[in-house]
Every structure is written in C-alpha cells, then in structure tokens.
C-alpha cells in the first residue's frame, strides 16, 4: 500500500478498540506517525505493538485538562499534529420517556464534550501552522434516529453535527487551511452495542453491520481530502435526505 500518510502525525482518540483501533491499523499501513489516546493503557499498548509502534497517551477525554495534557504530550514527543480524530464515545439503551438527567448528561459528556475538548485543544496549533484536519466521528443516528433505544446517544451526535457545522463557518473565514470533517457510520461490527450504558444487542450480531475495516478506510480517505461530510455507507446521504423530506412533509 502506498505510504500516503508518510511522516504525518495523526492523533486518534478512542483508539483502544472498535473504530479507533481499526483506524490505527489502517493509518499505520499507510505510514502515519500515530498517537493513540484512550483510558486503558494496557489496551493501547497492545494496539501500538500490533501496528508496529505508536505513541501511547492514556487519557480520559471527557476531562478537558486530560485532553490538553494529551495534546501537549503529542507535541512534545512528535513535534506537530497534522490530524486529530475525535472518535471516543459511548452508546445508551434507553427510550426518551425513561431518560434521567444523568443519562443525558453522560451522553453529552462522552459524545459531545469530549469532541469539543479535542477541537479546542488542537485548533490553536493548527491555526499557527495554517493547516490541519480534524475528524469528528458522529453517527447516522445523529441524522436519522431510527434506533429509538439510542435516544440520548442520537441527540448527542446530532448536537455534535451542529457544533461542527458552526465551527466550519468560522474556519472558512478565519483559517481556510483547516479542514473539519464529520463521519457518519451506521451499524458497525464492533462491541459498541455490548458496551452501551444499560447494555443492549451486540452490534456484531446485527444483520447488515458494516465491517469495521470499511469504516476505517473511509475515515483514512477523508483525512486525505474530499467531502467534509462522509457517509460510510453508499446510501447514507440518500437515507438522511429521505428522512428530512419525510419530517418536513415533502
């Protein structure tokens, strides 16, 4: 495979499992210099070993100070950051009528604030360099909330989409060399469902679950260039548009 990321420094959060782990493997094959961020050091060490070496940065990305410290550790060790992928997150299995304050707060902390902290941490560095790419892994559920048991998760991912779009407007005027990408996976064959708050079906057992390697390749291609909204399924955009038309009564 061509080394199309040779010497580029890429930070991946949530890199100890699932999409983040698969993305680390994909980018390593393409020659990237990786910084892997997650809470579980032992799991990160194993991913780093498997990809042939990477900077391991244990951090809880739901804490702003931990994200800032992770950024500083990457810059101190690798000298710069070319791309930052906000991938960490968690699901929930609970319908709207049963949601508690804590449920909503946790989903917003894990899926929205963690990405906000990542963007705010790396943007000054990228503004100074005049270039960089930030990827936020959202979800099709942020566009089309067809799995109602994921209610607060869907809401947090919809909020992330809106936050990113607001920042895009600002960057287009102030820092056009910085790309801000949003990725929209559907059901992916990982342990996401199994690890959701209050449990739930294992995503790997669901019919039509997308192989995690396909999602990783889509994110890698998005880092290289192209559309700023990336649907990992070919019919993703059409499904989103059909939902919006239906909601509007078109």
Active site positions, annotated? 153
Q: Which residues, including other chains, have CB under 8 Å from residue 62's CB and lie 6 or more apart?
A: 109, 110, 113, 114, 117
Using a 10 angstrom Cβ sphere, with 0-12 exposed, 13-18 middle and 19 or more buried, the burial of residue 176 is exposed
What distances in angstroms separate CA 94 from CA 99, 128, 158, one per listed residue?
A: 6, 43, 17
Tell me 40's DSSP state. -
52-91 burial string, b = 16+ CB within 10 Å, else e?
Answer: eebbbbbbebbeeebbbebbebbeeebeebbbbbbbbbbb
Do residues 216 and 22 touch, judged by C-beta distance below 8 A? yes
How far, in Å, CA of 189 to CA of 97, rounded?
28
């Amino acid at each position: 495979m061509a080394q199309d990321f040779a010497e580029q420094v890429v930070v991946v959060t949530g890199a100890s499992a699932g999409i983040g782990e698969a993305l680390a493997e994909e980018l390593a094959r393409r020659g990237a210099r990786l910084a892997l961020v997650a809470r579980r050091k032992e799991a990160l060490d194993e991913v780093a070993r498997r990809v042939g070496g990477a900077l391991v940065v244990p951090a809880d990305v739901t804490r702003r100070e931990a994200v800032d410290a992770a950024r500083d550790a990457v810059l101190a060790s690798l000298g710069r950051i070319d791309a930052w992928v906000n991938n960490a997150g968690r699901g929930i299995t609970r319908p709207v009528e049963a949601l508690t304050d804590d449920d909503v707060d946790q989903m917003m902390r894990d899926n929205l604030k963690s990405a906000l902290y990542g963007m705010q941490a790396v943007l000054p560095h990228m503004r100074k360099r005049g270039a960089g790419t930030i990827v936020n892994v959202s979800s099709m559920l942020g566009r089309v909330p067809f799995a109602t048991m994921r209610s607060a998760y869907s809401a947090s991912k919809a909020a992330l989409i809106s936050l990113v779009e607001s920042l895009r407007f600002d960057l287009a005027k102030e820092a056009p060399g910085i790309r801000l990408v949003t990725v929209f996976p559907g059901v992916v064959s990982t342990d996401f469902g199994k690890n959701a708050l209050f449990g739930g079906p294992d995503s790997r057992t669901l019919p039509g679950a997308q192989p995690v390697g396909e999602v990783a390749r889509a994110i890698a291609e998005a880092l290289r260039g192209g559309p700023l909204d990336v649907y990992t399924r070919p019919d993703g955009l059409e499904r989103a548009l059909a939902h919006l038309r239906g909601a509007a009564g078109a």
